[in-house]
Amino acid sequence: MEKFELIETDVLIIGAGGTGLRAAIEAARYNLDVVVVSKELLGKAHTTMAEGGINAALGNVDPEDNWKWHFLDTVEGGAWLNDQDLVETLVKEAPDRIFDLEEFGAVFDRLPDGKIAQRPFGKARYRRTCYMSDYTGHEVLATLVDETRKLGVNVFEEIFVSKLLTSNGRVIGAIAIDMKNGDFLVFKTKAIVLSTGGAGRMYKVTTNPASATGDGKILALDAGAEVMDMEMFQFHPTTMVWPPSCRGILVTEAVRGEGGILLNAKGERFMKRYNPKLMELAGRDAVARANWTEIMEGRGTEHGGVYLSVTHLDPELVKTRLKTMYKQFLLAGVDITKEPMEVSPGAHYYMGGVRILNVTTETCVKGLFAGGEETAGVHGANRLGGNSLIDTQVFGKRAGEYAAKFAKSETFHPIDFKQVEEEQKRILSIAKEKDDKIRPVKIREQLSEVMWENAGIFRDEEKLNKALTFIERVKKEQLPKLGICDTTTLRYNKELIEALETINLVRTSELLVRSALIRTESRGAHYRTDYPQTDNKNWLKHIVWRLENGVLKYRFEPVKITIQNPP
């Protein structure tokens, strides 16, 4: 066995985004040892890139708003695939989580009466989205970082967790690599919170950062947990198309919330053909499909996008409320107060993920909890803008709370060092000198292209089968040859981590494609051109996956409908 460092902690939180840090803050209240491990440096997680805002039915601008409307908007937006017990908790607890953030020091933009300002967002009946200019995610994450520092929570940075350790159906620890020096770490723990976020890097065009590689979903699956709704991947309607370097960088929904309009190359405000009632503020799924259709049918712009224009708005408003956008485009040579932006859809958010059994965020593996983009069920088949940040807070808090309570009542279990040894072997076999090695970047380039072309906004059986064939071939022929350039040292060996991430991406892609093939209907973000109808009679159910002796098996699980029946 290779050397490793053993670290004991009551609660281990994997991932340091909005969910992970909120969980840590909560768990720290229980007088326990809490360790957060982060793949990036503290404060660099994807949460910081959330722009437009965070939803809570405070009713500050529209007094008619309350949790019931927020609930209805969320399940309607989610095309009724949401588990309603989760949604109910989300919307009812949202205001308190906003107040928590303020308590920790967050600053939101205000109304003249001194209350938190709220802006309109896609598919929301009322103005419900709280914001700090257009860098709300940064504000939320920076605040949580402050609070973690205040509480003295241990955060281990640049740690890649590669496997959860289990014993008799419960998690008892985790194996990780400390990227800084290449050392192995073994965590011995009573409870684990998974909060590693999404997997946008499956796709060529994505708003997601380098680290969004589906790690947690695969960790959970391997530990015996279930994942579901894996076909549900949201494409954000508006991401940058030019220059090539900026392809996929998010253009916030707040642009449309503040009054931005979409135009095709002919100058036509085409949303009136797709959704005359909600226009640009229709659901993200609908707007993404509209944009993509315009582009595919030849009404796109020079660089293959559609126009998003705010030139009719007050330039001062644009520069303050859409500050990030203004600067982001200026750097690319476009003054958005004078010229329209060119945008097109990009992979943005994974609605699918780890199945949590109920609002305690527990999974079917004892001691394993999960929250945020890691999980499925909250957002159904399509997430509303502004609901992700609040998800991290509501379910981050809950994950922390219930993981802590679980840890309080449990003892440590002895680690099975054979599991450690096996995992070390798996990792070191990648870092071995190989003549016919295939570098992770090569696999990723092809995978992301194939996924974008065949499992993207519009899907059909043929394309999905093509993707599946490709994935199966990669698994069989390429992954065994996965290798890296520098086999002499593991010290900050970025490529070794990339290799492990690539395996996660391939496996996540497989789950996505297989699920998309099974779901022979269109719902929310999942659009099958060969099955364009939504079929509430047969398909109000989740496709749930688990591993049985190393083989993927699926079953169906009915959607939990507790409050409102679909029309």
Partner 1 sequence: MKMNKETKLKVKVFRFNPLKDAEPHYEEYEVPYIEGMRVLDVLNYIHDNYDGSLAYRWECRAGQCGSCSIMINGKAGLACQTSVDPETKELIIEPLPIFPVIRDLVVDVEKGYKKLLKIRPYLHRESVSQHPEIIYQYEIEDIKPMRECIECWSCVAMCPVVQNAWDIYGGPIVMTHLAKLSFDKRNAFDHLLTAFLEGLYACTQCANCKEICPKEIDIPEKAVGKMRYLAYNKRNLVRNEHRKIVENVRRFYNPLAEDNNTRADWAKDLDIPVAKRGAKLLYFVGCMASWREQRVARATATLLKLAGENFTVLGPYERDCGSVFVRLGDMELVKEFALYMKNIVKNYDFDAIVTSCAGCFRTFKIDYLEKLGIDLGVPIYHSSELFAQHIDEGKLTLTTKLNISATYHDPCHLGRHVGVFEEPRKIIRTIGLKFKEMLNERYKENSRCCGAGGGVRSGYRDIARDIAAYRVENDVPKGAKVIVQTCPFCYFNFEDAVRTNNYSVTNIDLTELLLVSVMGEDAIKVLGSDRYKEIMSLSRGE
Residues that bind partner 1 (CB under 8 A): 40-41, 43-46, 48-49, 58, 60, 99, 102-105, 107, 109-110, 112-116, 132-133, 135, 137-139, 142, 146-147, 149-150, 180, 209-211, 242-246, 249-250, 324, 327-328, 331-333, 439, 441, 484-486, 488-489, 491-495, 498
**Please, which residue, 489 or 562, has the CB nearer to partner 1?**
489
Q: Hey, CA dihedral for 227, 229, 235, 236, is it positive or negative? A: negative
Min dist CB 149 to partner 1, Å, is: 6
Min dist CB 7 to partner 1, Å, is: 18
**Please, which residue, 7 or 212, has the CB nearer to partner 1?**
212
b/e for 401-418, b at 16 or more Cβ within 10 A?
bbbbebbeebeebebeee
**Please, which residue, 337 or 493, has the CB nearer to partner 1?**
493
Q: Which helix (H) or strand (E) holds 70?
A: helix 67-77
**Please, which residue, 429 or 489, has the CB nearer to partner 1?**
489
Min dist CB 349 to partner 1, Å, is: 15
- Quick check: helix, strand or coil at residue 168? coil
- Quick check: helix, strand or coil at residue 127? coil
> Does residue 212 contact residue 32 with C-beta atoms inside 8 Å?
no
Beta bridge partners of 129: 55, 119
Min dist CB 505 to partner 1, Å, is: 16
What's the rounded Cα separation, in Å, for the pair 540 and 557?
Answer: 9
CA distances from residue 495 to 163, 244, 482 in whole angstroms, order as listed? 18, 24, 11
What's the rounded Cα separation, in Å, for the pair 329 and 308?
Answer: 12
The catalytic residues are: 236, 256
Q: Report residue 200 as tokens.
A: 């946008």
Min dist CB 61 to partner 1, Å, is: 13
Min dist CB 490 to partner 1, Å, is: 10
Q: Which helix (H) or strand (E) holds 151?
A: helix 136-151
Question: DSSP assignment of 493-535, as one string?
Answer: -HHHHHHHHHHHHHHHHHHHHHHHHH--S-BTTB-BTTB-S--
